């Protein structure tokens, strides 16, 4: 005879596995839908930009056959086709220069085609939002938070994937997270450490996403540079502090505590954009 308790346990395990499989399938479908939508918008924009000069030439060469009643030429000069924007108007797609330059080094697909500055800026913005929505779906967070993490990582010179991994391990994307020892926010910064980079920063400021991400990513980038690109050692110092790691190394012991392995599991980058 089968043990009814054991049977119910197995049935519950099967139900859990099926539920997890459905969730993973739904997640993959969301990513595919978002990616397809972004690609479709990009193709439509490229076609529109490619056909615009042809339309302009055709409109300019079209003969004037008569006025409103067909008996005479239209009064006044023909209005330019692209007169809706001033010649010196800034593109609504333009992003800050530092983010635009660093964003080109970030991972992800690129749809940029053409040499026109305005077209390149539009495609750069399209690429940026494609990556942001991909990270939003991957880590199941709101697009606004994904945007803040992505832009902060690019500005600090970190690979965005590393930035998202750090925030997930440190705070599980909770902007108001606070540890028992007083570490604050998304990147779990100690106020004393944060003030080394921005003197006078307050506890309340460290609980805001932009400030916390800016300082936390700047700190990690500085550690990677200080330890000559050794990402795992830099992560250990970020987690344990330089004193504890330095003491372990001085005594000939391995300072690893598993934190660096959790952050970098499956990660193939070197941590920085340069």
Q: How far, CA to CA in Å, does 166 sit from each of 3, 118, 124, 173, 233? A: 45, 35, 25, 10, 14
Name which of 120, 103, 56, 121 is nearest 83 in CA terms: 56
69: how many CB neighbours lie within 10 A of its CB?
Answer: 6
- The conformation of residue 89, written as its DSSP 8-state character, comes to P
Asked if 161 is an active-site residue, the reply is no
Query: Cα–Cα distance between 239 and 224 in angstroms, integer?
Result: 13
Query: Cα–Cα distance between 104 and 86 in angstroms, integer?
Result: 28
What are 196's two structure tokens? 């080394």
Contact 210, 152 (CB under 8 A): yes
What are 254's two structure tokens? 């391995």
3 state SS of 46: helix
Catalytic option among 121, 159, 161, 170:
170
Cross-strand pairs, 62: none
All residues at 6 or more sequence positions from 128 whose CB lies less than 8 Å from its CB, including other chains: 95, 103, 150
The angle, 0 to 180 degrees and rounded to 10, between the axes of the packed helices 209-226 and 160-171 is: 110
What are 23's two structure tokens? 């969730």
Active site residues: 170
């Amino acid at each position: 005879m089968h043990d009814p308790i054991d049977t119910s346990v197995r049935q519950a395990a099967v139900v859990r596995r099926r539920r997890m499989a459905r969730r993973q399938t739904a997640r993959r479908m969301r990513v595919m839908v978002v990616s397809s939508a972004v690609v479709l918008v990009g193709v439509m924009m490229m076609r529109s930009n490619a056909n615009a000069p042809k339309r302009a030439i055709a409109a300019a060469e079209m003969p004037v056959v008569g006025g409103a009643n067909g008996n005479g030429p239209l009064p006044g000069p023909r209005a330019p086709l692209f007169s809706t924007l001033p010649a010196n108007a800034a593109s609504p797609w333009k992003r800050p220069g530092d983010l635009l330059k660093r964003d080109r080094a970030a991972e992800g697909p690129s749809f940029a085609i053409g040499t026109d500055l305005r077209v390149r800026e539009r495609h750069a913005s399209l690429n940026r939002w494609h990556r942001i929505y991909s990270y939003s779906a991957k880590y199941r967070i709101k697009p606004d938070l994904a945007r803040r993490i992505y832009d902060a990582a690019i500005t600090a010179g970190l690979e965005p994937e590393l930035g998202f991994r750090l925030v997930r391990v440190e705070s599980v994307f909770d902007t108001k997270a606070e540890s028992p020892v007083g570490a604050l926010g998304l990147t779990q910064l100690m106020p004393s450490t944060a003030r080394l980079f921005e003197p006078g920063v307050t506890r309340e400021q460290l609980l805001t996403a932009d400030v916390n991400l800016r300082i936390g990513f700047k700190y990690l980038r500085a550690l990677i540079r200080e330890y000559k690109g050794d990402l795992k050692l830099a992560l250990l110092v970020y987690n344990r502090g330089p004193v504890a790691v330095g003491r372990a190394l001085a005594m000939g012991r391995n300072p690893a505590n598993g934190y660096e392995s959790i952050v970098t599991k499956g990660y193939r980058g070197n941590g920085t954009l340069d």
